[in-house]
Amino acid sequence: MLADRFGRKSMLLLGCLLYALFGALPVLLHELRLILLSRLLFGCAEALIMTCCTTLIADYWPPRERMRYINRQVITIGVVGALFFVIGGVAGEGSWRTPFLLYLTPLLMLPAIAAWLWEPDRRQEDSHAAPALNGGVRRTVLTACFLIFAGMVTCFVVTVMTPTVLVMRGVTSTSLIGAAAGLAILCTLIGSIAWPFVRERIGVAGVNALLLGCMAAGLCVLALAPSYAVVLAAMVLQGVGAGFLVSNASLPLLLGLPPHLRARGVGAFTACLYLGQFASPLIITAIAQPLGGMPAGLANAILVWALLTMVLALVWLVVGLRHARLQSGPVAH
Protein backbone atom coordinates (compact mmCIF):
# COMPACT_ATOMS: atom_id res chain seq x y z
CA MET A 1 0.00 0.00 0.00
CA LEU A 2 2.91 2.38 0.70
CA ALA A 3 4.23 1.83 -2.82
CA ASP A 4 0.78 2.57 -4.26
CA ARG A 5 0.43 5.71 -2.18
CA PHE A 6 3.93 7.19 -2.20
CA GLY A 7 5.44 5.67 -5.32
CA ARG A 8 7.51 2.59 -6.08
CA LYS A 9 10.88 4.29 -6.56
CA SER A 10 10.76 6.39 -3.40
CA MET A 11 9.76 3.37 -1.31
CA LEU A 12 12.54 1.31 -2.90
CA LEU A 13 15.09 3.96 -1.97
CA LEU A 14 13.72 4.07 1.57
CA GLY A 15 13.71 0.27 1.77
CA CYS A 16 17.36 0.03 0.70
CA LEU A 17 18.36 2.65 3.25
CA LEU A 18 16.50 0.89 6.07
CA TYR A 19 17.81 -2.49 4.90
CA ALA A 20 21.39 -1.28 5.27
CA LEU A 21 20.72 0.45 8.59
CA PHE A 22 18.89 -2.37 10.35
CA GLY A 23 20.96 -5.08 8.67
CA ALA A 24 24.26 -3.71 9.96
CA LEU A 25 22.94 -2.57 13.34
CA PRO A 26 23.86 -5.81 15.22
CA VAL A 27 27.51 -4.82 14.79
CA LEU A 28 26.89 -2.15 17.43
CA LEU A 29 24.35 -3.95 19.62
CA HIS A 30 25.07 -6.09 22.68
CA GLU A 31 21.65 -7.11 24.01
CA LEU A 32 19.96 -10.08 22.37
CA ARG A 33 16.50 -8.52 22.46
CA LEU A 34 17.77 -5.43 20.64
CA ILE A 35 19.44 -7.63 18.04
CA LEU A 36 16.18 -9.52 17.55
CA LEU A 37 14.29 -6.24 17.21
CA SER A 38 16.76 -5.03 14.61
CA ARG A 39 16.28 -8.27 12.65
CA LEU A 40 12.51 -7.82 12.76
CA LEU A 41 12.82 -4.30 11.35
CA PHE A 42 15.34 -5.59 8.83
CA GLY A 43 12.78 -8.12 7.62
CA CYS A 44 10.23 -5.34 7.12
CA ALA A 45 12.75 -3.41 5.02
CA GLU A 46 13.52 -6.51 2.97
CA ALA A 47 9.82 -7.09 2.32
CA LEU A 48 9.49 -3.48 1.18
CA ILE A 49 12.35 -3.93 -1.28
CA MET A 50 10.92 -7.19 -2.62
CA THR A 51 7.49 -5.64 -3.10
CA CYS A 52 8.81 -2.54 -4.87
CA CYS A 53 11.21 -4.44 -7.14
CA THR A 54 8.61 -6.97 -8.23
CA THR A 55 6.00 -4.27 -8.77
CA LEU A 56 8.40 -2.16 -10.83
CA ILE A 57 9.15 -5.15 -13.06
CA ALA A 58 5.43 -5.48 -13.70
CA ASP A 59 5.14 -1.72 -14.30
CA TYR A 60 8.10 -1.44 -16.67
CA TRP A 61 7.61 -4.40 -18.98
CA PRO A 62 4.74 -5.91 -20.98
CA PRO A 63 3.57 -9.44 -20.07
CA ARG A 64 6.06 -11.48 -22.11
CA GLU A 65 9.07 -9.47 -20.97
CA ARG A 66 7.62 -9.40 -17.47
CA MET A 67 7.85 -13.19 -17.22
CA ARG A 68 11.47 -13.10 -18.30
CA TYR A 69 12.53 -10.45 -15.80
CA ILE A 70 10.66 -12.02 -12.89
CA ASN A 71 12.56 -15.23 -13.56
CA ARG A 72 15.83 -13.32 -13.78
CA GLN A 73 15.01 -11.73 -10.44
CA VAL A 74 14.56 -15.15 -8.83
CA ILE A 75 17.80 -16.45 -10.34
CA THR A 76 19.71 -13.36 -9.21
CA ILE A 77 18.39 -13.69 -5.67
CA GLY A 78 19.62 -17.28 -5.57
CA VAL A 79 23.05 -16.52 -7.00
CA VAL A 80 23.68 -13.46 -4.83
CA GLY A 81 22.31 -15.23 -1.76
CA ALA A 82 24.66 -18.17 -2.26
CA LEU A 83 27.60 -15.84 -2.92
CA PHE A 84 27.00 -13.76 0.19
CA PHE A 85 26.47 -16.93 2.22
CA VAL A 86 30.04 -17.95 1.35
CA ILE A 87 31.46 -14.46 1.87
CA GLY A 88 29.66 -14.17 5.20
CA GLY A 89 31.09 -17.49 6.33
CA VAL A 90 34.62 -16.36 5.54
CA ALA A 91 34.06 -12.95 7.14
CA GLY A 92 32.70 -14.58 10.28
CA GLU A 93 35.91 -16.46 11.01
CA GLY A 94 37.28 -13.52 12.97
CA SER A 95 34.11 -12.23 14.61
CA TRP A 96 30.41 -13.06 14.45
CA ARG A 97 29.68 -9.35 14.00
CA THR A 98 31.69 -8.86 10.81
CA PRO A 99 29.22 -10.52 8.37
CA PHE A 100 26.55 -7.99 9.32
CA LEU A 101 28.62 -5.31 7.59
CA LEU A 102 27.71 -6.94 4.27
CA TYR A 103 24.25 -5.47 4.68
CA LEU A 104 25.73 -2.04 3.98
CA THR A 105 26.31 -2.93 0.31
CA PRO A 106 22.86 -1.65 -0.83
CA LEU A 107 24.09 1.86 0.02
CA LEU A 108 26.36 1.57 -3.02
CA MET A 109 23.29 1.00 -5.18
CA LEU A 110 21.32 4.04 -4.05
CA PRO A 111 22.86 6.42 -6.65
CA ALA A 112 22.14 3.94 -9.45
CA ILE A 113 18.55 3.47 -8.28
CA ALA A 114 18.05 7.23 -8.10
CA ALA A 115 19.60 7.83 -11.52
CA TRP A 116 18.41 4.91 -13.63
CA LEU A 117 15.01 3.88 -12.30
CA TRP A 118 11.93 5.96 -12.91
CA GLU A 119 8.55 6.22 -11.31
CA PRO A 120 5.86 4.83 -13.63
CA ASP A 121 3.31 7.37 -14.83
CA ARG A 122 0.22 6.23 -12.97
CA ARG A 123 -2.07 9.17 -13.69
CA GLN A 124 -3.79 7.30 -16.51
CA GLU A 125 -3.90 4.16 -14.41
CA ASP A 126 -5.54 5.99 -11.53
CA SER A 127 -8.17 7.50 -13.83
CA HIS A 128 -9.28 4.00 -14.81
CA ALA A 129 -8.88 2.49 -11.36
CA ALA A 130 -11.70 0.29 -10.18
CA PRO A 131 -13.02 1.13 -6.72
CA ALA A 132 -12.56 -2.37 -5.35
CA LEU A 133 -11.31 -5.85 -6.09
CA ASN A 134 -13.58 -7.87 -8.33
CA GLY A 135 -14.07 -11.59 -7.86
CA GLY A 136 -11.52 -12.67 -10.45
CA VAL A 137 -8.76 -10.44 -9.14
CA ARG A 138 -9.49 -11.49 -5.56
CA ARG A 139 -9.23 -15.16 -6.52
CA THR A 140 -5.93 -14.50 -8.28
CA VAL A 141 -4.46 -12.82 -5.20
CA LEU A 142 -5.74 -15.44 -2.75
CA THR A 143 -4.54 -18.33 -4.91
CA ALA A 144 -1.07 -16.85 -5.32
CA CYS A 145 -0.81 -16.08 -1.61
CA PHE A 146 -1.96 -19.57 -0.63
CA LEU A 147 0.47 -21.25 -3.01
CA ILE A 148 3.49 -19.22 -1.91
CA PHE A 149 2.65 -19.75 1.76
CA ALA A 150 2.25 -23.52 1.40
CA GLY A 151 5.29 -23.70 -0.86
CA MET A 152 7.50 -21.79 1.54
CA VAL A 153 6.39 -23.95 4.46
CA THR A 154 7.48 -26.96 2.41
CA CYS A 155 10.76 -25.38 1.27
CA PHE A 156 11.79 -24.45 4.78
CA VAL A 157 11.17 -27.94 6.09
CA VAL A 158 14.30 -28.84 4.14
CA THR A 159 16.16 -25.65 5.05
CA VAL A 160 15.51 -25.92 8.78
CA MET A 161 15.11 -29.64 9.43
CA THR A 162 17.72 -31.27 7.18
CA PRO A 163 20.60 -30.74 9.66
CA THR A 164 18.57 -32.47 12.38
CA VAL A 165 17.71 -35.35 10.05
CA LEU A 166 21.36 -35.76 9.10
CA VAL A 167 22.51 -35.74 12.72
CA MET A 168 19.90 -38.41 13.49
CA ARG A 169 21.40 -40.45 10.64
CA GLY A 170 24.85 -40.10 12.18
CA VAL A 171 26.13 -37.32 9.90
CA THR A 172 27.66 -34.67 12.14
CA SER A 173 30.23 -33.13 9.80
CA THR A 174 29.42 -29.47 9.23
CA SER A 175 31.05 -29.71 5.81
CA LEU A 176 28.72 -32.52 4.73
CA ILE A 177 25.69 -30.72 6.14
CA GLY A 178 26.74 -27.54 4.35
CA ALA A 179 27.29 -29.47 1.12
CA ALA A 180 23.73 -30.80 1.28
CA ALA A 181 22.42 -27.26 1.71
CA GLY A 182 24.59 -26.09 -1.16
CA LEU A 183 23.23 -28.82 -3.43
CA ALA A 184 19.68 -27.73 -2.63
CA ILE A 185 20.55 -24.14 -3.55
CA LEU A 186 22.20 -25.27 -6.78
CA CYS A 187 19.15 -27.30 -7.78
CA THR A 188 16.91 -24.34 -6.95
CA LEU A 189 18.89 -22.29 -9.45
CA ILE A 190 18.57 -25.07 -12.02
CA GLY A 191 14.81 -25.13 -11.46
CA SER A 192 14.61 -21.36 -11.87
CA ILE A 193 16.52 -21.50 -15.15
CA ALA A 194 14.38 -24.37 -16.44
CA TRP A 195 11.08 -22.75 -15.42
CA PRO A 196 10.34 -20.81 -18.64
CA PHE A 197 10.81 -23.91 -20.78
CA VAL A 198 8.71 -26.11 -18.51
CA ARG A 199 5.95 -23.51 -18.23
CA GLU A 200 5.69 -23.18 -22.01
CA ARG A 201 5.05 -26.91 -22.28
CA ILE A 202 2.71 -27.68 -19.40
CA GLY A 203 1.33 -24.28 -18.40
CA VAL A 204 1.17 -22.50 -15.05
CA ALA A 205 -1.22 -24.98 -13.42
CA GLY A 206 0.88 -27.89 -14.65
CA VAL A 207 4.03 -26.37 -13.18
CA ASN A 208 2.23 -25.79 -9.88
CA ALA A 209 1.32 -29.48 -9.74
CA LEU A 210 4.85 -30.46 -10.75
CA LEU A 211 6.62 -28.24 -8.22
CA LEU A 212 4.38 -29.38 -5.38
CA GLY A 213 4.88 -33.00 -6.43
CA CYS A 214 8.66 -32.59 -6.58
CA MET A 215 8.79 -30.98 -3.16
CA ALA A 216 6.49 -33.61 -1.66
CA ALA A 217 8.63 -36.38 -3.12
CA GLY A 218 11.74 -34.68 -1.78
CA LEU A 219 10.25 -34.57 1.71
CA CYS A 220 9.32 -38.26 1.54
CA VAL A 221 12.85 -39.19 0.49
CA LEU A 222 14.31 -36.97 3.22
CA ALA A 223 12.15 -38.50 5.94
CA LEU A 224 12.89 -42.08 4.88
CA ALA A 225 16.53 -41.59 3.84
CA PRO A 226 18.77 -44.32 5.28
CA SER A 227 22.01 -42.64 4.21
CA TYR A 228 23.65 -39.36 3.30
CA ALA A 229 23.53 -40.16 -0.42
CA VAL A 230 19.76 -40.57 -0.30
CA VAL A 231 19.44 -37.26 1.54
CA LEU A 232 21.29 -35.66 -1.37
CA ALA A 233 18.69 -37.11 -3.73
CA ALA A 234 16.02 -35.44 -1.59
CA MET A 235 17.87 -32.13 -1.95
CA VAL A 236 17.74 -32.47 -5.74
CA LEU A 237 13.99 -33.13 -5.84
CA GLN A 238 13.21 -30.41 -3.35
CA GLY A 239 15.54 -27.88 -4.95
CA VAL A 240 14.17 -28.26 -8.46
CA GLY A 241 10.60 -27.88 -7.22
CA ALA A 242 11.54 -24.85 -5.13
CA GLY A 243 13.18 -23.29 -8.18
CA PHE A 244 9.82 -23.19 -9.95
CA LEU A 245 7.91 -21.82 -6.99
CA VAL A 246 8.30 -18.04 -6.76
CA SER A 247 8.24 -17.33 -10.49
CA ASN A 248 5.25 -19.56 -11.17
CA ALA A 249 3.26 -18.46 -8.13
CA SER A 250 3.76 -14.77 -8.84
CA LEU A 251 3.13 -14.88 -12.59
CA PRO A 252 -0.72 -14.91 -12.53
CA LEU A 253 -0.58 -12.14 -9.95
CA LEU A 254 1.61 -9.89 -12.08
CA LEU A 255 -0.35 -10.60 -15.24
CA GLY A 256 -3.81 -10.40 -13.69
CA LEU A 257 -3.65 -7.46 -11.31
CA PRO A 258 -4.60 -4.00 -12.59
CA PRO A 259 -1.80 -1.45 -12.13
CA HIS A 260 -3.48 0.46 -9.31
CA LEU A 261 -3.69 -2.73 -7.21
CA ARG A 262 -0.37 -4.23 -8.24
CA ALA A 263 1.77 -3.10 -5.31
CA ARG A 264 -0.94 -4.10 -2.84
CA GLY A 265 -1.20 -7.57 -4.33
CA VAL A 266 2.55 -8.06 -4.51
CA GLY A 267 2.82 -6.86 -0.91
CA ALA A 268 0.33 -9.50 0.21
CA PHE A 269 2.23 -12.11 -1.79
CA THR A 270 5.54 -11.11 -0.21
CA ALA A 271 4.00 -11.17 3.26
CA CYS A 272 2.72 -14.71 2.71
CA LEU A 273 6.15 -15.74 1.42
CA TYR A 274 7.82 -14.67 4.65
CA LEU A 275 4.98 -15.95 6.82
CA GLY A 276 5.43 -19.37 5.25
CA GLN A 277 9.13 -19.33 6.09
CA PHE A 278 8.37 -18.30 9.66
CA ALA A 279 5.56 -20.80 10.14
CA SER A 280 7.36 -23.82 8.68
CA PRO A 281 9.27 -25.01 11.78
CA LEU A 282 6.29 -24.20 13.99
CA ILE A 283 3.98 -26.32 11.84
CA ILE A 284 6.36 -29.27 11.65
CA THR A 285 7.02 -29.11 15.39
CA ALA A 286 3.28 -29.04 16.09
CA ILE A 287 2.72 -32.07 13.84
CA ALA A 288 5.59 -33.90 15.53
CA GLN A 289 4.21 -33.47 19.05
CA PRO A 290 1.59 -36.27 18.94
CA LEU A 291 4.01 -38.43 16.92
CA GLY A 292 6.68 -38.62 19.60
CA GLY A 293 7.83 -35.04 19.88
CA MET A 294 11.04 -33.55 18.57
CA PRO A 295 13.31 -34.96 17.31
CA ALA A 296 11.88 -38.49 17.59
CA GLY A 297 8.73 -37.64 15.66
CA LEU A 298 10.41 -35.41 13.07
CA ALA A 299 10.55 -37.98 10.27
CA ASN A 300 6.87 -38.85 10.67
CA ALA A 301 5.94 -35.16 10.82
CA ILE A 302 7.79 -34.56 7.56
CA LEU A 303 5.93 -37.49 6.00
CA VAL A 304 2.59 -36.06 7.12
CA TRP A 305 3.38 -32.69 5.55
CA ALA A 306 4.67 -34.43 2.41
CA LEU A 307 1.34 -36.25 2.12
CA LEU A 308 -0.60 -33.00 2.47
CA THR A 309 1.61 -31.39 -0.18
CA MET A 310 1.10 -34.32 -2.54
CA VAL A 311 -2.67 -34.07 -2.10
CA LEU A 312 -2.43 -30.37 -2.95
CA ALA A 313 -0.39 -31.24 -6.06
CA LEU A 314 -3.06 -33.69 -7.20
CA VAL A 315 -5.82 -31.14 -6.60
CA TRP A 316 -3.91 -28.57 -8.64
CA LEU A 317 -3.40 -31.11 -11.41
CA VAL A 318 -7.10 -32.00 -11.57
CA VAL A 319 -8.20 -28.36 -11.51
CA GLY A 320 -5.62 -27.46 -14.15
CA LEU A 321 -6.74 -30.27 -16.46
CA ARG A 322 -10.38 -29.30 -16.03
CA HIS A 323 -9.60 -25.66 -16.76
CA ALA A 324 -7.62 -26.62 -19.86
CA ARG A 325 -10.50 -28.80 -21.07
CA LEU A 326 -12.99 -25.96 -20.59
CA GLN A 327 -10.74 -23.55 -22.45
CA SER A 328 -10.26 -25.91 -25.37
CA GLY A 329 -14.03 -26.31 -25.75
CA PRO A 330 -15.86 -29.21 -27.36
CA VAL A 331 -13.96 -31.17 -29.95
CA ALA A 332 -15.55 -31.15 -33.38
CA HIS A 333 -16.23 -34.53 -35.00
DSSP code string of 239-270? HHHHHHHHHHHHHHHHHHS-HHHHHHHHHHHH
Rounded to two decimals, the pTM is 0.81
Residues 6+ apart with CB under 8 A from 15: 45, 46, 48, 49, 52
Closest CA to 157 of 242, 59, 80: 242
Q: How far apart are CA 9 and CA 11, in angstroms?
A: 5
Give the fold, CATH level 3, of 1-110: Growth Hormone; Chain: A; (1.20.1250)
Calculate the CA 317 to chain-centre distance: 21
Helices of type H across the chain: 2-6, 8-24, 32-60, 63-91, 110-116, 123-127, 135-168, 174-224, 228-256, 259-288, 298-328
Tens digit of each residue's pLDDT (9 = 90 or more) over 279-290: 999 999 999 999
Closest CA to 184 of 139, 145, 232, 230: 232
What are the residue ranges of CATH 1.20.1250.20 in the chain? Answer: 1-110, 134-323
Contact by Cβ (8 Å): 210, 202: yes
Contact by Cβ (8 Å): 169, 228: yes
By the 10 Å C-beta count (0-12 exposed, 13-18 middle, 19+ buried), 51 is classed as buried
Q: Which amino acid is at 56?
A: L
Q: How far apart are CA 133 and CA 125, in angstroms?
A: 15
| pLDDT digit string (tens) for the chain, length 333 residues | 565 666 788 999 999 999 999 999 999 998 989 999 999 899 889 889 988 898 888 888 887 788 788 888 888 887 887 777 778 777 777 788 888 999 999 999 999 999 999 888 755 554 444 445 566 788 889 999 999 999 999 999 998 999 999 999 898 887 788 888 888 888 998 999 999 999 988 888 899 999 999 999 999 999 999 999 999 999 999 999 999 999 999 988 888 888 778 878 888 998 999 999 999 999 999 999 999 988 889 999 999 999 999 999 999 998 877 776 766 655 444
Q: How far apart are CA 311 and CA 260, in angstroms?
A: 35
> Which superfamily does CATH assign the domain made up of 134-323 to?
MFS general substrate transporter like domains (1.20.1250.20)
Tens digit of each residue's pLDDT (9 = 90 or more) over 141-163: 999 999 999 999 999 999 899 99
Q: How far apart are CA 116 and CA 112, in angstroms?
A: 6
Can you say whether the dihedral through the CA atoms of 223, 229, 234, 235 is positive or negative? positive
Tens digit of each residue's pLDDT (9 = 90 or more) over 25-72: 999 998 989 999 999 899 889 889 988 898 888 888 887 788 788 888
